[in-house]
Amino acid sequence: MDKKQQPKVLIVIFGATGDLAKRKLFPSIYRLYQNGAIGEDFAVVGLARRSWTNDVFRDNVNNSISHSLSTDDNLDAFTSHFYYHPFDVTDDASYQDLGSLLNDLEGVYETDGNRIFYLAMAPNFFGTIANKLNTFGLKGSTGWSRLVIEKPFGHDLASAKELNNQIREAFDEKQIYRIDHYLGKEMVQNIEVIRFANGIFEHLWNNRFISNIQVTSSEAIGVEDRSRYYDHSGATRDMAQNHMLQMVALLAMEPPINLSTEEIRSEKIKVLRALRQIDDTMVDDYFVRGQYGHGKINGKYIKGYREEAEDLVDSNTETFVAGKIMIDNYRWAGVPFYIRTGKRLEGKSTKIVVEFKDIPMNLFYETNEERQPNLLTINIQPNEGITLRLNAKKSGVGSMAKPIDLDYNNENVHGINTPEAYEKLLYGCMIGDATNFTHWDEVALSWKFIDSILNVWTDQKATFPNYEAGSMGPKAAHELLEKDGFHWWPTTED
């Protein structure tokens, strides 16, 4: 890569001894270094309370990278850019010391005063850190300063507003990069390309030709050691408010006039503004919640959610949510967007299925029920790719039809090694491209929609557990589509 394009940057990671830094951030920064996206003009300062030295920190960075990636001879050279500074985010004196360390490193690594402050910490610290960075002059360096914030961004609209106000006292909206790591995934970014670069789809991408769109994100894992966080959050806050609604916005948005951050965001915001708000009395007609009981996954016995930890015995938290979302605009009037996501489901998979309307007359199947609609499936994970289901002639005599699938799988393409979501997002932040980060207006509109569902659910005790571990969620999630004459794809026969 041309050296001139390599960003010069000092990355300050708050929570550098934590899980996210270890599993995602260090390997991603290494990949950027390995493939030349960043050169030698960078340094990383890790902050957390424990009293590590630079050497201990570098060993940890080294281990986390060697554990997840194949490495080159340059690993030691890479980790020599890492510095550790014991730090309590609530303590003013810590910020004063940090200022002089950052100034020194900027001199050594010639990073032009460009700083990324990455908050890989519990969200209750976000406001404090942002304000102290401002008060102690750490964001006022000679270059640019950007603040990267992890999810969750608030617990509901009111708390998200409060958090946003705190952060905005110190940083402008343009300096704030709110992570939704789904937006860094290759196939999520591919939604725009598939839609806007292909006449055969975009011309049909509306309520005249599409009957419904389904977005499923299933996990086979349970809450693992995150039960305290998860029980306070649940599937709707953890997945639907952010990742699922972001995918819906990308699927439903109008073509932007260009690919700039502002234009893409503005189209997504219009979709979120057009979400049909659900009246209190109608929540159960549009949304279904579930919690897993015991069951089996891959032949192995799995405990129910309430058995996973002592304080979950009478939990009312949903580990599954499915919903029907209507977008009240000209393009989508009458087309349901169904979403579903949950834990301890059949397997790990994220996919989008676009179901096209049937042709008016059945010529090639014995009965109307046997007819198969055209489907466009976008596989986000684990197998990245696209499948287009068409009808073709059954070979042999007669003129009966059968469904056939045209498959494209990213992994089968020689040489493709798709970058990790965090790698692309970090690089986006370094070059000032906020397209794949969420704007405050998107966060606020998503919370407004989700609050209308959760406000009702919080007041009503659910009948849990209502689905078996290893299934695809409660019966009501299937009935949600059946009453509209649809069913979830793929079916068990697929």
Which residues are designated catalytic?
A: 243
Which residues make beta-bridge pairs with 376?
354, 388
Q: Are strands 300-302 and 145-149 parallel, antiparallel or unpaired?
A: unpaired
Q: How far apart are CA 342 and CA 288, in angstroms?
A: 11
**Residue 251 CB partners (closer than 8 Å, separation 6+):** 191, 195, 213, 215, 337, 352, 354
Question: 147 to 176, contacts with ligand NAP by CB under 6 A?
Answer: 150-151
Total binding residues toward ligand NAP, as defined by CB under 6 A: 20
Q: In what order do the strands lie in the sheet with 145-149?
A: 82-86, 42-48, 9-14, 115-119, 145-149, 176-178
Question: 212 to 231, contacts with ligand NAP by CB under 6 A?
Answer: none
Contact with ligand NAP (CB under 6 A) among 39, 99, 123, 490: 123
Q: Which stretch binds ligand NAP (CB under 6 A): 87-95, 281-289, 440-448, 476-484?
A: 87-95
179 CB neighbour count, 10 Å cutoff: 26
Q: Which stretch binds ligand NAP (CB under 6 A): 15-23, 189-197, 214-222, 336-344?
A: 15-23
Q: Output the smallest distance, CB 14 to ligand NAP, in A.
A: 6
Q: Is residue 68 a contact residue for ligand NAP (CB under 6 A)?
A: no
Phi-psi map region of 237: left, alpha, beta (phi>0 left; psi -120 to 50 alpha) = alpha
Contact with ligand NAP (CB under 6 A) among 8, 11, 15, 251: 15
Contact with ligand NAP (CB under 6 A) among 39, 40, 49, 441: 49
Q: Output the smallest distance, CB 180 to ligand NAP, in A.
A: 10
Q: Which stretch binds ligand NAP (CB under 6 A): 11-19, 30-38, 284-292, 331-339?
A: 11-19
Long-range pairs, 470-473, Cβ under 8 A, ≥24: 470/295, 470/296, 470/297, 470/302, 470/344, 470/345, 470/346, 471/295, 471/345, 471/346, 472/218, 472/340, 472/345, 472/346, 473/288, 473/290, 473/320, 473/322, 473/340, 473/342, 473/345
Contact with ligand NAP (CB under 6 A) among 53, 63, 90, 96: 90
Contact with ligand NAP (CB under 6 A) among 50, 203, 228, 393: 50
Q: Output the smallest distance, CB 81 to ligand NAP, in A.
A: 19
Contact with ligand NAP (CB under 6 A) among 10, 12, 37, 121: 121
| Phi, psi of 107, rounded to the nearest 5 degrees | -65, -45
Q: Which stretch binds ligand NAP (CB under 6 A): 47-55, 56-64, 303-311, 353-361?
A: 47-55
Q: How far apart are CA 48 and CA 62, in angstroms?
A: 18
Q: Output the smallest distance, CB 447 to ligand NAP, in A.
A: 16
Q: State which amino acid sits at residue 99.
A: G
Chain centroid, CA 52 distance in Å = 32
Q: Which stretch binds ligand NAP (CB under 6 A): 120-128, 397-405, 417-425, 479-487?
A: 120-128
- Binding residues (CB under 6 A) for ligand NAP: these are 15-20, 23, 48-50, 87-90, 120-123, 150-151
